[in-house]
Amino acid sequence: MTVLQPGVRAPDFTLPRDGGDRLSLRDFKGRKLVLYFYPKADTPGCTTESIAFSSLKSAFARARTDIVGVSADPVKAQDKFRDKHSLKVTLASDEEKKMLTAYGVWGEKQMYGRKFMGVRRTTYLIAPDGRIAQVWENVKVPGHAEDVLAAAKAL
């Protein structure tokens, strides 16, 4: 799969989220939205990334930007992850991998010489008009949330 490019309309989605509710792209109409895709809840890199976005949630709010983390983990795992690390960001579950595929983040990965299917760590900044403003592929976690915040402020 190929990631979406800046300028294209973000694919619509409706997903279950932590706490048992559902969320859709249209819920964020007129606001900026950060969608960060992470491989697996409660693993070291994903935890560090989610804590970083959580610690900057108020700064993102001042920039009129919402944050949603998405993985293929079930809602129950997302709830446990959120509670264990006191995360403040919304976490969505795409067990069916429809959204992950539409955003080009579900695909073949390789680790220790083994190939497998999984979520490629990717972040999208979506503009208030629903178009992709910026994409970060193969994200390295340290400093990433700060980079995304700077881009959100500049948008």
Q: Annotated catalytic sites, by residue?
A: 46
Written as one letter, the residue type at 85 is H
- What is d(CA 101, CA 26) in angstroms, rounded to the nearest whole number? 19
User: Helix, strand or coil for residue 110?
Assistant: strand
- Asked whether 92 and 15 are in contact (CB, 8 A), the reply is yes
- What is d(CA 121, CA 139) in angstroms, rounded to the nearest whole number? 6
In the numeric block, which tokens belong to residue 125? 């900044």
Q: Degrees (nearest 5) of the Cα angle 44, 49, 52?
A: 125
Residues in the chain: 155
